[in-house]
Amino acid sequence: MRAEVRVPLILVNFKTYREATGERGLRLARVAEEVTGRTGVCVAVAPQIVDLRWIAESVRVPVFAQHIDPVGYGKYTGHVLPEAVRETGAAGTLLNHSERRLVRSADPSRRKLELEVLRAAVRRAWEVGLKPVVCVDTVDLGRVVASFEPYAVAIEPPELIGTGIPVSKARPEVVSGAVEAVKGVNAGVKVLCGAGITSGEDVSAALRLGAEGVLVASGVVKAEDPLRRLLELASAAKAHIPDP
């Protein structure tokens, strides 16, 4: 049975980091499972596509793809088929990550087409039962994407990615702006933030700004002690869960 995705959510993106590839990725997913067990906070992982199935089959945490393409069965060599991702046991997918952008052009007519591709990818994800988490680099794009009704919008200023400078402290207005913009369009769409998150305090700051979780990579994947780091992040998130 697939593990449930809930907020506050800590979503760990494995990218193509060596520390999170193959066996090491599975080990890191087990760390996520342990942290969920110890804190009750939902910690999800986004491994590389080739590691999805065995991680999804081995570990009881929600597993996300890093990308899907809005294609169907057929003549689409090299594309990532949503149905195939769902069959691995994945619970969701990232879309439009800064490092795998679907929307990249400034030219209005090209951008319009790219937005339609992104909208189609969101639709395909839901169709096959994957929760789409769409990454955006600006509040304005977040507002547009919210109207596509993804599971979540994740705001990530690209210049802070991998720097250890947390978006929630360095650019708080971007996080609160994204929350306001997304919720203004559709209150049901969750808002995550990411880039530079490394400490419990960064997570608390994000949740205080109205985010419902964080997207994190290097702060966990490259930590000397990922278990300790992830426990710190999840414990900070837990402190924001209202008493029943």
Query: Which residue in the set 219, 231, 236, 237 belongs to the binding site for ligand G3P (CB under 6 A)?
Result: 219
Among the candidate windows 18-26, 52-60, 176-184, 195-203, which touches ligand G3P by CB under 6 A? 195-203
Dist. CA 68–CA 122, nearest whole Å: 9
Rounded least distance, CB 163 to ligand G3P, Å: 6
Name every residue whose Cβ is closer than 8 Å to that of residue 187 and which is 6 or more positions away in sequence: none
Q: Which is nearer to ligand G3P, 17 or 54 (CB)?
A: 17
Of 33, 67, 87, 97, the active-site residue reads 97
Query: Which residue in the set 3, 5, 8, 13 belongs to the binding site for ligand G3P (CB under 6 A)?
Result: 13
Rounded least distance, CB 109 to ligand G3P, Å: 28
197 forms part of the interface with ligand G3P (CB under 6 A): yes
57 included as an active-site residue: no
161 forms part of the interface with ligand G3P (CB under 6 A): yes
Q: Is 109 exposed, middle or buried (0-12, 13-18, 19+ CB in 10 A)?
A: exposed
Q: Which residues pair with 194 in a beta bridge?
A: 215
194 forms part of the interface with ligand G3P (CB under 6 A): yes
Query: Which residue in the set 115, 118, 145, 195 belongs to the binding site for ligand G3P (CB under 6 A)?
Result: 195
162 forms part of the interface with ligand G3P (CB under 6 A): yes
Dist. CA 60–CA 134, nearest whole Å: 23
Q: Specify the DSSP element, H or E, that contains 45.
A: strand 42-46
Q: By CB under 6 A, what part of segment 80-109 binds ligand G3P?
A: 97
Query: What Cα–Cα distance (Å) separates residue 102 from each residue in 41, 73, 105, 119, 164?
Result: 30, 20, 9, 10, 25
156 included as an active-site residue: yes
Rounded least distance, CB 171 to ligand G3P, Å: 13
Chain residue whose CB lies nearest ligand G3P: 218
Tokens of 206: 């994000």
Q: Is 77 exposed, middle or buried (0-12, 13-18, 19+ CB in 10 A)?
A: exposed
Query: Which residue in the set 5, 218, 231, 236 belongs to the binding site for ligand G3P (CB under 6 A)?
Result: 218
Dist. CA 126–CA 213, nearest whole Å: 20
Dist. CA 58–CA 75, nearest whole Å: 31
Of 67, 156, 212, 232, the active-site residue reads 156
Question: Listing from the earlier edge strand, what are the strands of the sheet with 92-95?
Answer: 42-46, 9-13, 213-216, 190-194, 152-155, 131-136, 92-95, 64-65
Rounded least distance, CB 63 to ligand G3P, Å: 15
Residues serving a catalytic function are 97, 156
Site for ligand G3P, rule CB under 6 A = 13, 97, 156, 161-162, 194-197, 215-219
